[in-house]
A and B are shown apart, each in its own frame.
Chain A
Amino acid sequence: MEQMIQIVVAGLMLGGVYALIAVGLNLIFGVVKIINFAHGELVLVGMYLTWWLWLTFDLNPYLSLVIVAPVTFLLGVLIQQFLVGPMINSSPLMKIFLTLGLSVFLQNLALFMFGGQFRTVNVPWAEQNLTILGISVTYGRVTAFLVALLLVFGLFYLMKRTLTGKVLNAIVEDRETAGTIGIPVRRYYLLAMGLGVGLAGVAGSLIIPFQAAYPLAGAHFTLMAFVVVVLGGLGNMGGALVGGLILGVVETLTGTYLDPGLQQVAVFIVFIIVLIVRPQGIFGGAARNAEVGLK
């Protein structure tokens, strides 16, 4: 029993990071109306950048956030400015191909630059156990969870309480009208994409102390983020948080009690069950789903 609680807690910690990746994805297609197939590869950018900074300058991965966050934010802005922005009125299929092309490019850029090996950052402190009430989790996972949670709630706050958030929500609701009343929509697209990609990059820095980076890992994160979003309901940030936590737990439980090789199979089964039982996601948000193609 105690072991099980321990595994559930470890799953929740991982789930927090999935939630962070997913809210970024959610923000991007809420505002920019594009499904970012390269989202997982952008997590990978954060991971490799953190790893490289650690290897070259011996920089602590948590300190490297100061560099990773602005760099990935800027990367998002550039992607929006030069790739997604000019195609804003293209068909949804073309937009998929665009981000798919980006994902293929980034994945193989990683292979070319860093090879196919697993890359991890060794932080002795992060590997020690924190034990509360007989349950131990590594400091690395706890830190990742807490920072992820902080950022997710930070984004909630931004969206609900600030003027910027109100404007972003207005664009989510109705892009044309937002444009007519004088909101510089394009500039907010840049912001949304920058924030979404930046959050993905930060998630990468947070998990590299306990999860290896390799070129194909990006696809895993994309799929996770997407299942989280379907689970939580599109445009529903709170749903994304709960969805992320559920997936983290499902993944670690499967890994421990069934077979580590079946983790993604279990996630896919959960996803299919949710689609059959509650296609609008556990927490709804159905009205908005049709716009980006979710029934």
Chain B
Amino acid sequence: MKKLSLPWIIVPAAIALLFPLVTSDQYLLHIGVLVLMYIGITVAWNILAFGGILSLGHAAFFGLGAYTVAILYVDFGVNPWIGIVAGGLVAGLGSLFLAIPMVRLRGPFFTLATLAFVEVLRLLAIWAVPVTNGSVGITTPADEGFLYIAFQDREPYYYIVMAMAVLAIWASIWIYRSKLGYHLRAIASDEEAVQALGVKTNRIKVLALVISASMTGVFGAFAAIYFFVIDPATQFNASLYSIQPALNGIIGGMGTIAGPIVGAIVMTPLGEWLRVTFSGAAQGVNFMIYGIVLIVMVRMLPGGLVDGYHAVIRRLKGKKRPEPAAEAAASTDKKENER
């Protein structure tokens, strides 16, 4: 990975930190919270993408985290801070169910299995009324204060989710550069070859799955506390928490560090704007546009915005493009590996 120049880290970080000081508009702060939450989920989703694995099942982990924190809080009086951690653990454990299709299936087939997994959990959440309160859902109490993560103003939420997102990004960079990350990226380019070298690829993929799922579960748990209300249709919503992170990832640049962050920053406000603009009689149009965006992206810019940006920079500097954009995500790291 090319080393990012300092301004690229400092400027966005400063904007993010100062944002609540500039505005106290609750709606803008809410968008800020959503952006940071989606950065977290997309970064988590992207850990599997390091290995070239496409999951459309992250809504399952998101929902597991949300339900864990809510059930622990409402039924057992467990503090939500502990609940958030528990949410990550439960999501990680739940992801082990997907380990079976993961070691048996590849590529598109695993992706479809992940999609089915979300549907199964959604149906179970509707069905298991004594535990989950069925399709009505659970409302968490509004005990105010930092101890219970409940505030009148959105500003504290903003800083909490920002800390979580920063941790997630840091973890993703660390994983990317760790042995696990190298193995994953090698799997992305040629799994058979990696296996032939004696690396236990299944173990690596399952480990990545559990890490990715746990991180998503933590953000799901945060969302449950933030929204106060959870229900199966929202928390296990494939469009919102499976396809959206995947869309953010592909638009930013799948399998890169910066890609998911850029994708979430671009797509979240856009998605919110589309949702508000096309509500009522034009329902569905916002997601139709998503579908078109997805098709256009894979046709025009398969490496995502980050790759497109690099291509533009290269052209401005008058250099030739070293490789087609499609392979960029997988092969940007070859040089680093060879060192």
A interface with B by C-beta (< 8 Å): 35, 37, 83, 86-87, 90-98, 100-112, 115-116, 215, 219-220, 222-223, 226-227, 230, 259, 261-262, 264-265, 268, 271-272, 275-276, 279, 292-295
Contacts and interface: CB of A to CB of B under 8 A. Distances in A.
A101 B291 contact: yes
Interface residues of B, number: 50
Contacts of B246: 97, 100
B147 interface: no
Contacts of A268: 116-117, 119-120
Interface string B303-314: 000000000000
B112 A37 contact: yes
B295 A83 contact: yes
Interface stretch (B73-81, B122-130, B166-174): B122-130
Contacts of B111: 96
Nearest to B107: A293
Contact of A271 (B106, B116, B297, B302): B116
Nearest to B97: A272
Interface of B: 52, 54, 56, 97, 100-101, 104-113, 115-117, 119-120, 123-124, 126-127, 238-239, 243, 246, 250, 254, 282-288, 290-295, 297-299, 302, 326-327
A105 B123 contact: no
Given A271-B116, A272-B101, A101 B298 contact: yes
Chain A contact residues: helix, strand, loop or mixed: helix
Contacts of A102: 291, 295
Contacts of B124: 262, 265
A265 B254 CA distance: 31
A223 B108 contact: no
Given A94-B326, A111-B284, A112-B288, A275 B119 contact: no
14 contacts: A35-B112, A87-B299, A90-B302, A100-B246, A104-B243, A112-B285, A112-B288, A220-B119, A259-B127, A265-B120, A275-B100, A279-B104, A295-B105, A295-B106
A92 B111 CA distance: 12
**Residue in B52, B111, B286 whose Cβ sees the most chain A Cβ within 10 Å:** B111
Contacts of B302: 90-91, 94
Contacts of B254: 93
Given A109-B284, A259-B127, A265-B120, A275 B105 contact: yes
